[in-house]
Amino acid sequence: MANIIVLMGAPGAGKGTQARLLQERLHIPQISTGDIFRALKTSQTSLAQEVLEIMERGQLVPDDLTTQLVRERTAQDDARNGYILDGFPRTPAQAGSLEKLAAEQGHSIIPILIDVPQDFLEKRMTGRRNCPVCNEIYNIYFKPPQNDNVCDFHPDAQLVQRADDNVETVKTRLSTYEKKTQPLIEYYKAAGLLRTVDGTRAPEAIYEDVKSALSVAKMSLQ
Ligand code: AMP
């Protein structure tokens, strides 16, 4: 039996950074629904355009489509020994689909909340920049690159800002999170499944807590 590590938390809480560390160190894939949707930028279909418009408004892509994509991605061979979900589930309906999927795949779900107070989040998001080559995540306020706006590992790569990390969309994304995803956190908490880590510290310190949360969760599953 393998594990599905579900990283939860508001947009900007640092789920992507932790998912990347877990992927590198546990050798199981990070599956980010946001990354899957952003990759549609190169597709010209009307469905792709529709999804990109929803994202730019800071709203949620419909549950059926999102769940279908997760189902297909997690059926790939590299996810056989478990995987890390980053940004899914985000609604109670998606959580229901995940439970079904986990049962079919014979995996256990370990939800971990990266907890960050609301006032940190806006700066985390509006300051965020990514390397277009290796996807390394920077922040102009909290983790600037060594040289202005270029990746430390790819000096030819100018950092990019996500289309939905502007002030207006960030506000909608935070309120969407409160309305749609917060109830899910309460649900995992009430079920006694949720582990919470303090997400206000440096990535490595948060990672240590995520690792401890995982070992506690595994013990209670055995
Ligand atoms: P993220 O990179 O996780 O912040 O996601 C960026 C955007 O992609 C979100 O604001 C949504 O528009 C869309 N998205 C990502 N994951 C989901 C999901 N599980 N359900 C619905 N929409 C999603």
173 is catalytic: yes
Going by alpha carbons, the residue nearest to atom 14 of ligand 1 is 34
Going by alpha carbons, the residue nearest to atom 6 of ligand 1 is 34
Which mean pLDDT values do the consecutive 10-residue runs of the chain (222 residues) have? 94 95 96 95 93 96 97 96 97 96 96 92 93 94 94 96 93 95 94 95 95 78 49
**Homologous superfamily of 3-117+169-221:** P-loop containing nucleotide triphosphate hydrolases (3.40.50.300)
Q: Is 173 within 8 Å of 58 (Cβ atoms)?
A: yes
pLDDT at 222: 46
pLDDT at 221: 52
162 is catalytic: yes
Q: Which residues pair with 143 in a beta bridge?
A: 139
Q: Is 58 in the pocket of ligand 1 (CB under 6 A)?
A: yes
Q: Which amino acid is at 74?
A: T
Q: Which residue has the tokens 């290796």?
A: 134
Helix 63-74 vs helix 92-105: crossing angle, to nearest 10 = 20
Q: What is the DSSP string of 61-108?
A: PPHHHHHHHHHHHHTSGGGTT-EEEES---SHHHHHHHHHHHHHHT-E
| Tokens encoding 173 | 């994304």
90 is catalytic: yes
Rounded to whole angstroms, the Cα distance separating 7 from 13 reads 10
Rounded to whole angstroms, the Cα distance separating 191 from 200 reads 25
Q: Which residue has the tokens 């079919």?
A: 104
Question: Peptide bond before 117: cis, by omega within 30 degrees of 0?
Answer: no
pLDDT at 219: 56
pLDDT at 120: 87
Q: Where are the domains of the chain?
A: 3-117+169-221
| Verdict on whether the full-model pTM lies above 0.85 | yes
Q: Is 60 in the pocket of ligand 1 (CB under 6 A)?
A: yes
Q: Is 3 in the pocket of ligand 1 (CB under 6 A)?
A: no
